[in-house]
Amino acid sequence: MPRPYNFSAGPATLPEAVLQQAQAEFLDRRAAGASVLELSHRGPEFMQVAEEAEADLRTLLSIPDDYAVLFLQGGATTQQALIPLNFADPGQAADYVLTGHWGATALKQAEPYVMAHIAADTSVDGYRDLPARDEWTLSGDAAYVHYTANETIHGVEFRDIPDVGDVPLIGDFSSSIAAEPLDVSRFGVIYAGAQKNLGPVGITVVIVRRDLLGRAGQPRAPILDYRAHDRAGSMLNTPPTFNWYLAGLVFKWMLAEGGVAEFARRNARKAAVLYEAIDGSGGFYRNTVAVDARSRMNVVFSLHDDGLDARFLAEAKEAGLISLKGHRVLGGMRASIYNAMPEAGALALAGFMGDFCKRNG
Amino acid sequence: MPRPYNFSAGPATLPEAVLQQAQAEFLDRRAAGASVLELSHRGPEFMQVAEEAEADLRTLLSIPDDYAVLFLQGGATTQQALIPLNFADPGQAADYVLTGHWGATALKQAEPYVMAHIAADTSVDGYRDLPARDEWTLSGDAAYVHYTANETIHGVEFRDIPDVGDVPLIGDFSSSIAAEPLDVSRFGVIYAGAQKNLGPVGITVVIVRRDLLGRAGQPRAPILDYRAHDRAGSMLNTPPTFNWYLAGLVFKWMLAEGGVAEFARRNARKAAVLYEAIDGSGGFYRNTVAVDARSRMNVVFSLHDDGLDARFLAEAKEAGLISLKGHRVLGGMRASIYNAMPEAGALALAGFMGDFCKRNG
């Protein structure tokens, strides 16, 4: 029996080929005599895994040489605390753009350390659109401007990189990194928990323009200091080796499939077929996000009658379509269609939605 | 061919039965339709994994009910920064006992936040013995006393819990947790990276006496706040689900094997056979740690002639005994024999050592 299509928002579906390779070499990778889980992080076998992962990610995302790439623990949320500690003076202003739940989380992590300023906030509209750039109120002296490229709960995504002049732009790309080509040179920092588009949970990628590592920041322990992690090649302490290895397998898979340009095409087609299933349902399914702000990664929708929700989820599961229940904040449904979701999965879901609508409309 | 015996200091060998189970259910655990890696951390399948892991660890270590158990990211080093942030006032005194490399690391992480006081330090002797308790100089008003139960590089281990009166005692048990029964109630905090005795790297266990969670601590982001992690059931952000699951499998394996009392017996026998191989070699092998301070977990030794090191390592590998090279700080050899190392592995190594000595002595 084929595996179900898993629309989980993260931890999310992984490429089946990657899972099969990791399973095959789970007890002994390349005659090392041990599982990747059991190898010293400083031994030659794992050092090669780590170096290839960084090189492949640099290729995949066209990361310029003047950017450091860190592989860290703690998830995106930890980086949201480390960003002010590393890049802002104590009490300095920092601008936050809130377009959903995760932008608000980033703000909360920063508040103990900076004068956090909300430059834009679409919460009054329920985060259903993006704030026009000319309506942002930026501080004159901000250490940086932070925004969330894609909001997984509200299904809202920036498709253009906002222009904030010379102030470093920091983007949380946890749920959309590597979904399409990105001009990394426009950013001061890009960070992403891996568990959506890059592979497994438990490892986080931080891409930092090197000149920002020279900022004094605030008093902090070495383990909370990006400079120390950079100097140690992300091995200041024992890194999550198996998670790093799995992410590396996902990078190789993405390159072999054609890289981010190819995934941009696939992701556009997957999102189109699902939004068509919603918009063409005559109101049976609804998505209230402004069309230009709709996420390609997280397609949020509700049924016109939420009394049908349980039946929709049960029948979808029967049809091999799982983890479609929406986040508790919004209710309804959510189909997360990151890079590892095959186009066949989106087509199968769209077909099911059409059929369910006919039978219950 | 059997797998080699892997004496890596961490990431370290895992029970083969655990690896086999994880491999068998790697693509689909219990008909969930997805890998553990792909399950939502808030779904019923993973919630059960998480709850069973905590319950099993509480049973294994006899953790009293007034202690919280947290499963976190960042390794032991991150906890070394969070401990002063959570349990000390800014600039308050905190006492550190240094008996090896990792105690010194703990001190470094704390220095930005507290008036760190070195209560004892055996570095002048090369960390080859433990400081007698009556020679410690404790501060009168310390927030806590921190020590390292086992030092993996120097092979020195506390076998008795030091008495520090009413001041909370904080122990880094990264490399010796669950190696023998332990009276948790004697501690304020016990913490341990999992990659030695508890399973995989990428997850860290923190056991905290609940009254300490009421301390104000210092300004810190929610993600750096143990209280917030406790309230959220260690799911303040997406936890490292696969690592947590693997640790849970190791807990079940340890319970099935007879629990910590049984591992204490096995560990004592494993250590005895190796120290006998050293002490009975007529000086061919040497360990310079005071006998009562010798680690049961990390048996450090050197050959009388370091010109033989490369041959020793090569022939050991041929004999199915890997990862014996000592840490670069000390050179020589190190055999790490955590719970998952079978007694047959220690016997095989002792046999090889005797044979190598005969042929080269």
Under DSSP, is residue B95 helix (H, G, I), strand (E, B) or coil? strand
Residue ending a domain, among B208, B227, B256, is: B256
- Residue B124 predicted with pLDDT over 90: yes
What band does B189 get if pLDDT is binned at 50, 70 and 90? very high
User: What is the average pLDDT across A220-234?
Assistant: 98
Nearest CB to B6: which of A3, A38, A41? A38
State the ipTM, two decimals. Answer: 0.97
pLDDT of residue B71: 98
Q: What is the CATH number of the domain that holds B349?
A: 3.90.1150.10
Residues A242 and A266 in one domain: no
Residues A216 and A355 in one domain: no
Distance from CA of B24 to the nearest CA of A (A): 8
What band does B30 get if pLDDT is binned at 50, 70 and 90? confident
Q: Is residue B1 part of a domain?
A: no
Residues A164 and A241 in one domain: yes
Cβ–Cβ gap B202/A240 under 8 Å: yes
Residues A177 and A221 in one domain: yes
Catalytic-role residue among B56, B102, B253, B270: B102
Residues B286 and B235 in one domain: no
Nearest CB to A223: which of B40, B77, B219? B77
Q: Is residue A7 part of a domain?
A: no
CB B97 within 8 A of CB B110: no
pLDDT of residue B31: 84
Residues A151 and A202 in one domain: yes
**B172 flagged as catalytic:** yes
pLDDT of residue B2: 84
Cβ–Cβ gap B219/A323 under 8 Å: no
**Chain segment B149-188, per-residue pLDDT in tens:** 999 999 999 989 999 999 999 999 999 999 999 999 999 9
- Residue B1 predicted with pLDDT over 80: no
User: What is the average pLDDT across B98-106?
Assistant: 97
CB B64 within 8 A of CB B210: no
Q: Is residue B172 part of a domain?
A: yes
Catalytic-role residue among B28, B121, B160, B196: B196
Residues A232 and A96 in one domain: yes
- Give chain B's end-to-end CA distance (angstroms, integer): 31
**Mean confidence (pLDDT) of chain B:** 97
Q: Which residues of B touch A4 (CB under 8 A)?
A: 33-34
Residues A222 and A104 in one domain: yes
- Residue A1 predicted with pLDDT over 80: no
Q: What is the CATH number of the domain that holds A93?
A: 3.40.640.10
Residues A215 and A284 in one domain: no
% of chain B beyond a pLDDT of 70: 100
Cβ–Cβ gap A73/B75 under 8 Å: yes
Residue ending a domain, among B256, B277, B307, is: B256
pLDDT of residue B138: 97
CB B169 within 8 A of CB B117: no
**Chain segment B278-291, per-residue pLDDT in tens:** 999 999 999 999 99
CB B108 within 8 A of CB B58: no
- Residue A147 predicted with pLDDT over 80: yes
> Which chain A residue's Cα is nearest to B318?
A33
**B102 flagged as catalytic:** yes
What band does B32 get if pLDDT is binned at 50, 70 and 90? confident
pLDDT of residue A309: 98
Q: Is residue A231 part of a domain?
A: yes
pLDDT of residue A31: 84
**Chain segment A54-94, per-residue pLDDT in tens:** 999 999 999 999 999 999 999 999 999 999 999 999 999 99
- Residue B329 predicted with pLDDT over 90: no
- Residue B25 predicted with pLDDT over 80: yes
pLDDT of residue A2: 84
pLDDT of residue A37: 96
Q: Is residue A288 part of a domain?
A: yes
Q: Is residue A2 part of a domain?
A: no
Cβ–Cβ gap A112/B39 under 8 Å: no
Under DSSP, is residue A334 helix (H, G, I), strand (E, B) or coil? strand
CA distances to A32, A220, A327, B65, B234 from B42, rounded to whole Å, are 36, 32, 10, 24, 11
CB A136 within 8 A of CB A118: no
Q: Is residue A8 part of a domain?
A: no
Domain that holds residue A335: 259-360
Q: Is residue B11 part of a domain?
A: no
Residues B55 and B153 in one domain: yes
CA distance B36 to A11: 9
CA distances to A183, A184, A208, A232, A358 from A64, rounded to whole Å, are 9, 7, 10, 20, 51
Residue ending a domain, among A211, A227, A256, is: A256
b/e code B120-145 from CB counts within 10 Å (16+ = b): bbbeeeebbbbbeeeebebbeebbbb
Provide the number of structural domains found in chain B: 2
Residues A240 and A91 in one domain: yes
Residues B200 and B211 in one domain: yes
CA distances to A23, A203, A324, B192 from B242, rounded to whole Å, are 13, 11, 21, 18
Structure tokens at A316: 């979808």
pLDDT of residue A198: 96
% of chain B beyond a pLDDT of 90: 96
pLDDT of residue A254: 98
